[in-house]
Amino acid sequence: MRALSILVAAGLLLPACLVPQPLVPGGEDSGLDDPPRILGRSPEASVVHTQRGCGRQRFELLAIEDMDEEDSIEVRWFVNYQQGNVEPVRVARITTGFQDGIRSPPGDGLDVFFSQYEDQVLVVEAVVSDGFDSDPGRSPVNRVPLAGKAVTHTGWTVFVESVQECLP
């Protein structure tokens, strides 16, 4: 009898615990910003081993998704970003080829020529935004999004061996 009472009470109380959640507005007329997303990159691995004799390494964003058709996507490429070295080595705007939220031609790329860097370890980064803040007082410099906009990034650590040939 007691078990039956507990089951009946639980049956009456459990539905009362379910609180409907309000729907989050979305869609084209919501006024909310859809942030850009990096869908693919090359090379896929975050750590790259190569030799100085190979001459260069190509880094690419294969696809960027942003459902806001009116957004202009900007890609800023950095090599060894740090205080005193905050300027991008390449900036590209991706404005055309919008289909189902995917920007095509895909993303953007950067060729890193090892002769330009003496370092044996390079950090290559692609920072993507639908609106960068140009205020040099905001930190991190050249990476802060405008209010209501977003930023995303991807990066690679490149170990460059001091071998003057390009080994497979």
In the chain, how many domains are there?
A: 1
Does residue 100 fall inside a structural domain? yes
Rounded Cα distance, 85 and 97, in Å: 33
Does residue 144 fall inside a structural domain? yes
Q: Any idea what the CATH number is for the domain that residue 143 is in?
A: 2.60.40.10
Q: Read off the pLDDT of each residue in 90-100 and give the average, rounded to a whole number.
A: 79
139 is written with which tokens? Answer: 């930190």
Cis before residue 43, ω within 30 degrees of 0?
Answer: yes
Residue span of the structural domain in which 85 resides: 46-161
Averaged pLDDT score across all residues of the chain: 82
What pLDDT is attached to residue 11? 55
What pLDDT is attached to residue 1? 61
33 is written with which tokens? Answer: 């910003």
How remote is the C-alpha of 88 from its chain's centroid?
16
Does residue 9 fall inside a structural domain? no
Does residue 15 fall inside a structural domain? no
2-6, 57-61, 126-130: range with lowest mean pLDDT: 2-6
Does residue 22 fall inside a structural domain? no
